[in-house]
Amino acid sequence: MEIKTFFDERTYTLTYVVYDEETKDAVIIDPVLDYEPWSSKIWTESSDAAVEFVKDNDLTLHYILETHAHADHLSGAQHIKKSFPEAKIVIGERITQVQSLFKGVFDLPDAFATDGSQFDLLFKIGEPLEAGSITVDAIPTPGHTPACVTFKIDDAIFTGDALFMPDVGTGRCDFPGGSSEDLYNSIQDNLYTLPEDTRVFVGHDYPEGKGREYAYETTIGESKETNVALPAARTKDDYVSWRDARDSSLAAPKLLFQSVQVNIDAGQLPTAAKNEISYMKIPINVFKPEPKPEDGLELKEA
């Protein structure tokens, strides 16, 4: 198994192409659709890089896998599917909970389904996906959202926003349906019980101020020993208290509303209005106000 990594510096997001060099079978994990909020401009540079890699290496793309409905970038799944129409867009089966939560927030029409049917396939825990010679398992890792899953392929796991590089920590848990207690249990019970040499590929990295370039791979053993947020020895009460306090200091992600309303719809952009223009819905004062830099609050984190 080979892993090709793409890092989007605008959203600090890692996209992975996982493939078998001999059979040419492949999956893509967490693709990005580029979006600039000030002008509401969309382009496809990040997704195109993954598409070109698949094409250049004559790979057969079976699945486009989403670890969760991201709150910090728009999914590039639909754009990739245009180049590979046979590839199925897959997300964890609990996406229905997230759809139900945000249908009300965005006042989506009654016709908006909350059964996950916008996706080609809902990943059920305990039912592996076969992508040719590649077997993908789903490990439930709720906490950041109730629908988060970690994908396991051979000796590697792709943790999305659950577990980051050791000097970054873990994902935030203050979105609707999020739970620091759930994330603690997810990591301790479902990830830290894996073999210590299991390779961990993270969904984001924030290298600024850490004196290093961006990184994306660690191990379960290293995480248990040195993760700044959740070393294996940390108690649940201590972690929950710390995580909740930290989350209270974080601003909402810059692309929260744009991302979520697209991503719960499997990466589909809003249907065009009568004037053939698509519009995002941005609710006002739904969540905590955006802090200013002079307030001393941190302005980014997945």
Is 90 exceeded by the pLDDT of residue 291?
Answer: no
- Amino acid residing at 32: V
Question: Residue 148 and residue 291: Cα distance in Å, rounded?
Answer: 27
Counting Cβ atoms within 10 Å, is residue 59 exposed (0-12), middle (13-18) or buried (19+)?
buried
Average pLDDT of 111-116? Answer: 97
Average pLDDT of 53-74? Answer: 98
Short-list 156, 155, 112, CA closest to 266 = 112
Question: Residue 162 and residue 167: Cα distance in Å, rounded?
Answer: 14
How is residue 283 written in tokens? 């609710």
Is 80 exceeded by the pLDDT of residue 289?
Answer: no
Average pLDDT of 4-16? Answer: 97
Question: 183-204 pLDDT, tens per residue?
Answer: 999 999 999 999 999 999 999 9
Fold of 2-295: Metallo-beta-lactamase; Chain A (3.60.15)
Q: How many CB atoms lie within 10 A of CB 140?
A: 22
- State residue 295's pLDDT score: 44
157 alpha carbon, distance to own chain's centre: 13
- State residue 297's pLDDT score: 43
Question: 203-218 pLDDT, tens per residue?
Answer: 999 998 899 999 999 9
Average pLDDT of 135-150? Answer: 98
Is 80 exceeded by the pLDDT of residue 301?
Answer: no
Average pLDDT of 134-151? Answer: 98
Average pLDDT of 257-266? Answer: 97
The percent of residues in the chain predicted with pLDDT above 90, rounded, is 91
The percent of residues in the chain predicted with pLDDT above 70, rounded, is 95
Short-list 75, 88, 92, 80, CA closest to 50 = 80
- State residue 302's pLDDT score: 60
Domain range list for the chain? 2-295
- State residue 209's pLDDT score: 87
The pLDDT mean for the chain works out to 94
Average pLDDT of 60-75? Answer: 98
- State residue 296's pLDDT score: 45
- State residue 288's pLDDT score: 57
How is residue 100 written in tokens? 């139900």
